[in-house]
Structure 1
Amino acid sequence: MQDVVERLRPYVQGWKAYFRLAQTPGVWRELDQWLRHRLRAIQLKHWRHGQKIYRELRNLGAAHETARQVAANSRRWWRNSNGALKSVLDIAYFDRMGLPRLA
């Protein structure tokens, strides 16, 4: 995941610099949300199997029930990445990884 964020960082910073004068905070907020949603889905896809997903989420501090719920649907990356997973892989998680915010 760190590699994905590092490769994505220059693009996000470039978009932010190029369009910084635009008066569309709602668009930036939606794009920021979509970007984090997509990165959560990529992270689930990297972990692949339910046992690995459960173990990694527990290591990140997720509750047993949350980790179990996400791991039970291990092949539904996009759908899982917006529900319970938001509480574990939150904005602070991506801030620690170095992903710049658009909004």
Structure 2
Amino acid sequence: MGQIIARLNLYFRGWWSYFGITQSLPNFRSLHYWILRRLRAILWKHWKNPRTRARELEKRKIPHIKGLFTGCSRKQPWRMSRVKWVMFALPKSYFLSLGLSLPGLDRLS
């Protein structure tokens, strides 16, 4: 995950330098949402086994039974990235703590 975030930061730095002067800052909200959802899907894919998924959700303070049902779900990673318990377990602050810098985040708050 660290390598993915490092490559994203390089890409965003160049992209934001080019498109930084824009009048469409509200459009970045949907872009941020998509990026975070994609990162959740990648992380869900990395946790291959249902047992690992349930254990990782429980590590992140999700109740045991909810983590078990969510971890054993047969949905694909993109669909699971929008499930409530996965979003609670992997919030935006988690990815920001790993070093992710989203473009225009300081202007959108």
Q: By how many angstroms is 1:6 displaced?
A: 1.4
In structure 2, stretches of 5+ residues that fail to align are none
Question: What is the match of residue 54 of structure 1?
Answer: 54
Question: What is the match of residue 33 of structure 1?
Answer: 33
How many residues matched? 103
Question: What is the match of residue 100 of structure 2?
Answer: 99
Q: By how many angstroms is 1:45 displaced?
A: 0.5
Q: By how many angstroms is 1:56 displaced?
A: 1.2
* Structure 1 moving runs of 4+ over 3 Å: none
In structure 2, the CA distance between the partners of 1:83 and 1:14, relative to structure 1 (3 Å rule), is: same
Q: By how many angstroms is 1:76 displaced?
A: 1.5
Q: By how many angstroms is 1:61 displaced?
A: 2.2
Instruction: Give the partner amino acid of 1:13.
Output: R
Instruction: Give the partner amino acid of 1:15.
Output: W
Q: Distance in 2 between matches of 1:91 and 1:66?
A: 21
Instruction: Name the SS for the 1:3 alignment partner.
Output: helix
Does the CA-based 8 Å contact 1:48-1:74 persist in structure 2?
Answer: no
Q: By how many angstroms is 1:17 displaced?
A: 2.1
Q: Distance in 2 between matches of 1:12 and 1:37?
A: 16
> Highest Rg: 1 or 2?
2
Does the CA-based 8 Å contact 1:44-1:74 persist in structure 2?
Answer: no
Question: What is the match of residue 9 of structure 1?
Answer: 9
Question: What is the match of residue 81 of structure 1?
Answer: 81
In structure 1, stretches of 5+ residues that fail to align are none
CA deviations on 1:10-46 (whole Å, 9 max, x unpaired) are: 1122222221111112221111110010000000101
> What TM-score do the two structures reach when normalised by structure 1?
0.89
